[in-house]
Chain A
């Protein structure tokens, strides 16, 4: 309930917020267990609710580059993947959990102290402009946080083994239990 209340409060913040200091992958609400969330633009990808490890690996290695190749998405245009700073905890968790990811040239990377916050904003609600189409194609990963208004955190399924695991949402309880597949080891 606390996390739901926090989420509602964060969603109610005005669009132009200030960031006092860099945010990382820390997850105090989830008992200090770090986790990675996969964000897409809510309006841009209304049908997409979940994604598997194998699809994530293909997206971020650029083996697939069109949304029609992503199960569940109704888009048919190019994917615009985003990743955070190489030294971030999110990158370490992503590599460790997904395994064998060679990031390809289609991936836009952000390096620096605010890389995850920048991606979180990029996947969120876009002010109405003619350029709205480009960012709605995005998918990005970053350390756990309450998604910004207009973005959606996907359920993730670990299909590295057979049979594949279930798709699990990055909820506080699932992260604490370690059931969410992109939880830190």
Chain B
């Protein structure tokens, strides 16, 4: 009888340790269409779905992977995991393992026809716009408009926002999940339709400005050359403004270039890690035959040497 009980307990514990991975993955909204296409291409649609929610939500889910049932052990992110999140994972006997699935850039875009003279922007000018200190276009160097600025942003949990504000600098980021309320001129989009919606809006509305990943660029809007005049402080000359391109993103000379990540968590003291469809998803992101067409369809840039040029 004791043996049966012990077997039952061991089976239960084994079941918890090998619980089926989370069916509804969370993570970067920038990577929502990429991840869903990857799930489809790998035939995992019956086992996995992708809800997005922002890079921070996926990272938070992975940190608690040991105690969640089912658990999320793979998380697409458009930013690096930060020191606090690394520590939180370590407290749970987990570490993040990074795989760079591709490259992207945060782009600031305006209406092509409506803002034809504006081609470049310094970080300080961007900061003034998104902090509501510049509210009309005549306060923006290079623009010949004089009307109000409609300012769009991704939400606080977005990796795109994290990249944008951490490099532009000077934003008050409290309270943590609602800090855009400090800047009431900004229209904030939350959800996985935001890149498309912000791109469409700047393509359609003459006095709009927004930031997204590369997939937000479309006919009708135009990205600006950028100059980091903040870190270190300096005056930007014309030759200091850099447009995004495959080359300037790969060599990181474009000031808002970034990496896209397929993180997973693994145990520090044991073999805990992705299993089943989540392991397949991770492997699929590393397989050029599967991932390269999806990177191209999403306008992301492959890491040099990963895809046939």
Binding site for B on A (CB under 8 A): 15-21, 80, 82, 105-115, 117-119, 121-122, 124, 126-131, 134-135, 138
Contacts and interface: CB of A to CB of B under 8 A. Distances in A.
B188 interface: yes
A68 B191 CA distance: 22
Given A110-B188, A118-B189, A118-B201, 4 more contacts: A19-B207, A110-B189, A113-B184, A135-B200
A133 to B, nearest CB: 9
A111 B189 CA distance: 6
B70 interface: no
B187 interface: yes
Binding site of B, secondary structure by majority: helix, strand, loop or mixed? mixed
Contact of A19 (B145, B150, B215): B150
A110 B200 contact: no
Contact of A127 (B152, B193, B207, B218): B218
B187 A17 contact: no
Nearest to B190: A109
Contacts of B9: none
Contacts of A16: 111-114, 204-206, 220
B113 to A, nearest CB: 5
Which secondary structure characterizes the binding site on chain A? loop
Nearest to A21: B148
For the side of the interface on B, what is the size category?
Answer: 35 or more
Contacts of B206: 16-18
23 contacts: A16-B205, A17-B204, A20-B148, A21-B148, A82-B193, A105-B53, A106-B51, A108-B192, A109-B190, A110-B187, A111-B188, A113-B187, A114-B187, A118-B197, A118-B201, A122-B200, A127-B218, A127-B219, A131-B196, A134-B193, A134-B196, A135-B193, A135-B197
A19 B200 contact: no
A138 B148 CA distance: 28
Nearest to B49: A65
A12 B67 CA distance: 58
Contacts of B147: 18, 20
A113 B190 contact: no
Contacts of A117: 150, 205
Contacts of B205: 16-19, 117, 121
Given A16-B113, A19-B150, A118-B197, A127 B203 contact: yes
Contacts of A126: 200, 218
Contacts of A15: 204, 220
Max chain B Cβ within 10 angstroms of own Cβ: one of A21, A107, A112, A114: A112
Contacts of A107: 191
B9 to A, nearest CB: 36
Given A108-B192, A130-B297, A124 B204 contact: yes
